[in-house]
Chains A and B, each alone.
Chain A
Amino acid sequence: MSGDLKMIEEVLSDSVKITLNGEIDIYTSNELKEKLYNIVDTNKKDLIIDCKELDYIDSTGLGIFVGALKKAKQYEKKVVIINLKDNIKKLFTITGLDKVFQIG
């Protein structure tokens, strides 16, 4: 079973963009963690997370975003999160992560 999360990776000149489609919860989070950490470690570029098609994320997923940010900072790179839907943006605000990430 492939789960309810699709991830499309696109390597750009000075960054890597990953587009997330579906839901991030306890079931799909391991897949996300492996993918995001691998992208950061392999490319050592800024990471852009496009959430245009992301319908849901839980605290596990938010924690993985934080982990990816910590990894990126080790390489002096940044993580930018774009196209958040309102229901997800609300979770970033509640948890204070809107001040931790660069949100576009």
Chain B
Amino acid sequence: MDTIELTLPFKAEYVSTARLVASSLANRVGFDIEVIEDIKASISEVCSKIVNIGSKVADAYKIIFIVSGKEIKITFCCEDTSLKCIFDAENDRLAIDIINALMDNVELCTSSNYILSMSKILEESI
């Protein structure tokens, strides 16, 4: 199990960087192209929302990828503890629908010391 951390400023131009890193790591786990696109889309939705909200106390947020043989777990963190439950059920319906449909074990709201988490599990080929 490996842990890879990516720290990004609250700037829109670096959301594509998160997609690129996610793509590379998901490819390493062995996901096919279609699933890699799903992971990229989900991560991008979260990054965009975090950047939109921004922070008055933190300069950056962190994406932690935990990569194992059959799974990639992605956790979003920030020292700004006000960043919690960042998605609004009404205004962010499209983003929520996309993330919930494409990822496994989605935790959009948490009382833990991170913003949210999601994972994708590699399906065994039959």
Binding site for B on A (CB under 8 A): 1, 4, 23, 25-27, 56, 58-60, 62-63, 86-87, 90-91, 94-96
Q: Which of B12, B92, B102 contacts A26 (CB 8 A)?
A: B12
- B13 within 8 A of partner (CB): yes
Given A25-B16, A87-B37, A58 and B44 contact (CB-CB distance below 8 Å): yes
The docked-state distance in angstroms from the alpha carbon of A62 to that of B97 is 12
What is the distance, in angstroms, from B95's C-beta to the closest C-beta of chain A? 4
CA distance A25 to B51 in the complex (A): 12
Given A4-B16, A59-B92, the answer on whether A26 and B48 have CB atoms closer than 8 Å is: yes
CB neighbours of B15 from chain A (8 A): 25-27
Q: How far is the CA of A25 from the CA of B46 in the complex (A)?
A: 12
Chain A nearest CB: distance from B98 CB in Å? 6
Contacts known (A25-B44, A87-B41); A59 close to B12, Cβ less than 8 A: no
**Chain B interface, DSSP helix/strand/loop, else mixed:** helix
Q: Which residues of A contact B37 (CB under 8 A)?
A: 56, 87
Asked whether, in the complex, the Cβ of B16 is within 8 Å of the Cβ of A94, the reply is no
Which one of A1, A23, A63, A87 contacts B94 once the chains associate, using CB atoms below 8 Å? A63
A62 to B95, CA, bound (A): 10
CB distance from A32 to the nearest CB of B (A): 13
Could you tell me if A59 and B34 are in contact, using CB atoms closer than 8 angstroms? no
CA distance A96 to B97 in the complex (A): 10
B109 to A: closest C-beta gap in Å: 18
State whether B13 touches A94 (Cβ < 8 A): no
A25 contacts across to B, CB distance below 8 A: 12, 15-16, 19, 44, 48
Cβ-closest 8 pairs across A and B: A59-B94, A87-B37, A27-B12, A26-B48, A59-B95, A26-B12, A94-B101, A95-B94
Is B45 in the interface zone, CB < 8 Å from A?
A: yes
**CB-defined contacts of A26 to chain B, threshold 8 Å:** 12, 15, 47-48, 51-52
For A87, the chain B residues whose CB sits under 8 A away are 34, 37-38, 41
Could you tell me the distance in whole angstroms from the C-beta of A84 to the nearest C-beta in chain B?
Answer: 13
Q: How far is the CA of A8 from the CA of B124 in the complex (A)?
A: 43
